[in-house]
Chains A and B, each alone.
Chain A
Amino acid sequence: MSKTISEIHEIRAKKQKDLLIRTDPSAVPTKEGGRMHILVCGGTGCTSSNSLKIMEELEILIRTSGMQDDIKIVKTGCFGLCAKGPIVMLYPDHIMYTLVQPEDVNEIFDSHVKNGIPVKRLLAGEQKDGEITNALDSLDFFSRQMRIALRNCGAINPEDIDEYIARDGYLALEKVLTEMEPEDVIDEIKASGLRGRGGGGFPTGVKWNFAAAQQEHEKYVCCNADEGDPGAFMDRSVLEGDPHSVIEAMIIAGYAIGASQGYIYVRAEYPIAVERLDIAIRQAREYGLLGEDILGKGFNFNLELRLGAGAFVCGEETALMTSVEGKRGEPRPRPPFPAVKGLFGKPTILNNVETYANIPVIILGGAQWFSSIGTEKSKGTKVFAIGGKINNTGLVEIPMGTTLREIIFDIGGGIPNGKKFKAAQTGGPSGGCIPASELDTPIDYDSLIALGSMMGSGGLIVMDEDTCMVDLAKFFLEFTVDESCGKCPPCRIGVKRMLEIVTRITEGEGCPEDLELLEILARNIKAGALCGLGQTAPNPVLSTMKYFKDEYLAHVIDKKCPAGVCRSMLKFLIAQDTCKRCGICKKNCPANAISGDKNTPFSIDQDKCIKCGVCMEKCPFKSILKNA
């Protein structure tokens, strides 16, 4: 049933009371809300490490003990601390359990749920002293973040529209429809300084304004949820944890530019996000928040999902729209820009999931508040998916201008195993790497470009001393070669040729002229490729060549891989002075490459050696050396 504004208000007021125990430890529980909420992460990461099983077992225990009215189990979106999943959060105690296994459920239930005694061994981070404090405040990982786009992720049940409404959901839409003209909305977004979070960083308000200015009856609002950078999952988490924020923002965008139809283009590889979006769209329709005459204000807006088949290039705006139209997902030259001629040839705005997630908050909090966060030219926060050689793999949201050092060492918990930080890669295959010398650069759109990288959608991969930068460049080139659509020669053939050259360098077959060829190719692909994917494909090579030229030279001149990664240049040798001739290496070698016995020195036949490193691993005397 369609709801009126006052009915939505009633829902909000009631649900807020039910949820109060999650924010206020001294709150009086309501009958319907129950006295305890057990939030279990139902994001992709935790789900894949069995969090649904944890939920299921908790439910059985609670039901069999007849506590189901008192204790509510809530499946949430991602908390962000993916390295420590599955995560279970108990309210009103504010206790976070990490690395929970289904076997732990009985103990949590008996000790904590029934008797109020937290299970110490499962407590997150610094809480291990047993003190019961608010996990989200006491852990550096959480306390140093500023969660705007992720405000509801891990905090609400994304499959319950009422929980979203309780957290001021759809209040921005109400404000827009009742108090604001379309141009007011655009002015507000412009004044907020919000820039596109998908990678390009184009000012969102300006983009909306272009589309609003088009005198066309038919316009479209699109959401780019085709997140494809390796290791990036910001958008997935927002969609899984807070789908309504995107839906609300898209309705607002539709009102601002004069569109009545929207499409969310989401990759089919995100089944949980797709399912929750589907549920959320259905719920919003039921409440009359999508459809005809929204909130009785005479504005119509509909939303549909379109599933992408997994092509990275479909994250490029023109390719995305071509794909929505049902054609082969390929970019086309611009101009005309989508705001003038986009989906089905009509004015279209396309924004990224995270960009949309910021919109309702900006409308409610005001442009002035939003623009007080961040740096001069980059306002607000940015969500990063941090991965690679870092302790707290996961999702973090920080104000623009935070340094890389804070993200990696303070929030991210530093590098595992005492290894040294070498570089961080941002912007995925379109970005570049940032060396240790730049760790203190405040991160925003422009500083990253100046460093030869880019913000991108927010993937941040940390590398330690064991990473070969040539090999890293090869990895990204392999990705772009795989993902090139094939439309223009610079990308289709040029990036392929770059990969061939980098591959021969990593195989010890490179020559100094190859570095020159790489530079020529990189320069001209950047200048000549048709779309952003092609134009930025050389960046990983350019930036590693910029900061780690010596590694390239070591490969092509000395035929050595300093990090000891490139196998063909690797030699395992036995240090005769420390070798005890125990024969363990010989026994373990899968290629029968080691010979020797008590009387003859052990040696490795380099022709037979497959460079697997097992001998080195097994040698009790550290007598096997990697000669890089």
Chain B
Amino acid sequence: MNKVCVTIDGISLYVPENYTILQAAKEVNINIPTLCFLKDINEIGCCRMCLVEVKGAKSLQAACVYPVSDGMEVLTHTPKVMEARKVNLELILSNHNSRCQTCSRSWMDCELQALANKLSVETVRFEGEKKLLPLDIGPSIVRDPNKCILCRRCVSVCKNVQTVGVIDLVNRGFNTRVAPPFDMSLSDTPCVNCGQCINVCPVNALHEKSDIDRVWEAIYDPGKHVIAQTAPAVRAALGEAFEMPVGTLVTGKMVTALKMLGFDKVFDTDTGADLTIMEEGTELIDRIRSGGKLPLITSCSPGWIKFCEHNYPDMLDNLSTCKSPHQMFGAILKTYYAKKNNIDPADIVVVSVMPCTAKKYEAARPELKTEGMPDVDIVLTTRELSKMIYDIGIEFPELGDSDFDSPFGNASGAGVIFGSTGGVMEAALRTVSDLLTDRSADNIEYEEVRGLEDIKVAAIQIGDLKLRAAVAHGLGNARKLMEAIRAGEQFHFVEIMACPGGCVNGGGQPLQRSDFRNWTDYRVLRTKGLYREDRSSYIRKSHNNPSVKKIYKEFLGAAGGSKAHELLHTHYIPRDNYK
């Protein structure tokens, strides 16, 4: 890459010629304020917060999209720049529901609030008409257009990254809004509830539908046996909500906190993940051996499942019939565990703590019930859990570690890496390899399916079988992979996760402000945490998890057997795109 010389606030430096002013300024440790800019996702220069003076240009320019050129001189904090930014922010605030005291984003790094502080906006001089629009409350996602500042990050992530595209701009000028087509509710669109829109929203215009009150109600109901199960990705991110460094693994503190909240039992969804591997691995081997439908595609990610139902209804047979891990585990809790502990399953409340908003929708699917009872009663996101911990004043970083409760205890490392793209594939390979070759492989780290490459393809030799595997994360990549498969590309096994990076970047995870995420890929840091836990696990293969073995032995019979099918498998429904 050629380099060009630019001068920023009097400091000259050489930067690659494809840099923007924003990037060049960062090189000299100037963090120009941004609002709409989200690296690789929303680079459109619409919010006008990052305005700078470029010598020779007539008006101020948006640093986030303005390309550098040789000899360019930039000034980032002249009075003209500072006034333009401030007036601009005042204008945004003048049409924003600024009741911050009652805003659930207030405690979580609201980017608008942070900017107002940064630019010393102490009053809004340009008050005027404010919009007052109804909220759209879905099973997973709530849209509050009165908080929306039209930065368009949600539109871009939904349309360009996820290729779901159920929200876009409607109307013009002051009446511009982000909305689903024809002002439908999101629930009536092909929205897959992935929550990526929430993750990118700088304010509280998008958030999950809160189920915190329902959880407290259950906890304080003496007749209920309330169980928390936590997905692997939660432990890699929960600490961020309490200002712990990104990637800090807080498994033990999380268990302690859940117990302090009053849950009767705290289990690890990784046990469910290990069950999933047993079932899905068996299913894969069956399909390969019996000439069944291939590729087998994973079904752990409920955003992906709904995406497939809407967009690839002709390929639903490729999906594994396995329920997702927390649903499997919920079914086991309400049957095996209930019976074993002599608890009426009707009195059990299973609360799944998930990095995911789509799991809320999933848990409410009518087909995910056992004997009329939902496998999982309530789904909390990582953010909701952090809010509960925060609300009652638990000093989370100071907590000691606790272990998951028996009888399930700690699960395998394979279950832990479920939280990252490639993790389900790797976990499955560890088991399938052992089952197919009938020996315990030592080399169990499948580097070829790890990492953040859009689509990872690998050919893995297992005995006589050269297993062709593909991994896609993010629905845009999933779409590409599915089109390739439809066009005839051959795979045995495909892993798809709806969220870019996998569950570590799920739509329910703690939010990271753009001024952090534009420069640091937090997904990498969170993922590292999971692989660290895997490496330190005593058991790293699902089929070696003793409690899983025990469940099969005492209750389910064989993996893929009829009892397992009754409890742990499901089916899918082709869906129209707009009702």
Contacts and interface: CB of A to CB of B under 8 A. Distances in A.
Contact of B88 (A311, A335, A485, A490): A490
A490 B84 CA distance: 9
Interface of B: 44-48, 51, 59-62, 65-67, 80, 83-84, 87-88, 91-92, 94-95, 125-126, 128-129, 149-150, 168-169, 171-176
18 contacts: A333-B44, A333-B62, A481-B174, A485-B173, A485-B176, A488-B47, A492-B176, A493-B94, A493-B95, A497-B128, A520-B83, A520-B125, A527-B60, A528-B48, A528-B59, A528-B60, A529-B59, A530-B45
B206 to A, nearest CB: 19
A535 B61 CA distance: 12
Given A484-B172, A492-B174, A527 B128 contact: no
Nearest to A328: B169
A490 B66 contact: no
Interface string A519-536: 011011011111000010
Interface centre among B59, B92, B95 (most CB of A within 10 A): B59
Contacts of A535: 59
Contacts of B44: 332-333
A521 B59 CA distance: 15
A497 B126 contact: yes
A541 to B, nearest CB: 14
Given A496-B173, A496-B174, A500-B129, A489 B62 contact: no
A333 B61 contact: yes
Given A493-B91, A494-B91, A524 B83 contact: yes
B48 A482 contact: no
Nearest to B51: A528
B91 A489 contact: yes
A333 B175 contact: no
A491 B61 CA distance: 15
A60 interface: no
A116 interface: no
Given A489-B47, A528-B84, A535-B59, A483 B65 contact: no
A53 interface: no
A427 to B, nearest CB: 16
A484 B83 contact: no
A97 B195 CA distance: 70
A336 interface: yes
Contacts of A488: 46-48
B481 to A, nearest CB: 25
Interface centre among B83, B125, B129, B174 (most CB of A within 10 A): B174
Given A527-B59, A530-B45, A494 B87 contact: yes
Contacts of A523: 83
A487 interface: yes
Given A494-B87, A497-B91, A481 B173 contact: yes
B46 A530 contact: yes
Contact of A335 (B60, B66, B92, B126): B66
Contacts of A530: 45-46, 48, 62
Given A497-B126, A523-B83, 7 more contacts: A489-B92, A489-B150, A490-B48, A497-B128, A500-B128, A528-B51, A529-B48
B174 A493 contact: yes
B173 A482 contact: yes
Interface of A: 311, 328, 332-333, 335-336, 481-494, 496-497, 500, 517, 520-521, 523-524, 526-530, 535
B129 A496 contact: yes
A494 to B, nearest CB: 5
User: When A and B form their complex, which 3 residue pairs have the shortest distance between CB atoms, in order from nearest?
Assistant: A486-B176, A484-B173, A524-B87
B94 A497 contact: yes
Interface centre among B46, B129, B149 (most CB of A within 10 A): B46
A491 B92 CA distance: 11
B174 to A, nearest CB: 4
B175 A486 contact: yes
A520 B172 contact: no
A278 B129 CA distance: 45
Nearest to B152: A487
Contacts of A311: 172
A535 B175 CA distance: 19
Given A528-B51, A529-B59, A484 B87 contact: no
Nearest to B173: A484
A491 to B, nearest CB: 8
B84 A527 contact: yes
A492 B173 contact: yes
Contacts of A336: 67
B151 to A, nearest CB: 10
A11 to B, nearest CB: 47
Nearest to A496: B174
A500 B126 CA distance: 10
B46 A521 contact: no
Given A335-B66, A524-B83, A529-B59, A496 B128 contact: yes
A497 B125 CA distance: 10
Contact of A487 (B46, B65, B83): B46
A521 B87 contact: yes
Interface centre among A335, A482, A488 (most CB of B within 10 A): A488
B48 A492 contact: no
A483 B171 CA distance: 11
Contacts of A497: 91, 94, 126, 128
Contacts of B84: 524, 527-528
Contacts of B48: 488-490, 528-530
Contacts of A332: 44-45
B91 A333 contact: no
Contacts of B47: 488-489
A494 B94 CA distance: 10
A496 B130 CA distance: 11
A524 B88 contact: yes
Contacts of A485: 172-173, 176
Contacts of B149: 489
Contacts of B94: 493, 497
Contacts of A335: 66-67
Contacts of A484: 172-174
A496 B127 CA distance: 11
A530 B66 CA distance: 12
Given A333-B61, A486-B150, A521 B126 contact: yes
Nearest to A532: B59
Contacts of A482: 172-173
A520 B169 CA distance: 29
A489 B92 CA distance: 6
A485 to B, nearest CB: 6
B88 A333 contact: no
A279 to B, nearest CB: 33
Contacts of A529: 48, 59
Contact of B80 (A333, A489, A496, A527): A527
Interface centre among A332, A485, A492 (most CB of B within 10 A): A492
Nearest to A523: B83
A517 B126 contact: yes
Contact of B171 (A333, A486, A524, A528): A486
A486 B59 contact: no
Given A481-B174, A492-B176, A527-B84, A486 B169 contact: yes
B429 to A, nearest CB: 41
B456 to A, nearest CB: 29
Contacts of A481: 173-174
A201 B88 CA distance: 29
Given A486-B174, A490-B88, A500-B129, A333 B60 contact: no
Contacts of A486: 150, 169, 171-176
B71 to A, nearest CB: 15
Nearest to B89: A489
Nearest to A535: B59
Interface centre among A486, A520, A523, A535 (most CB of B within 10 A): A486
B1 to A, nearest CB: 18
Contacts of B66: 333, 335
A94 B309 CA distance: 74
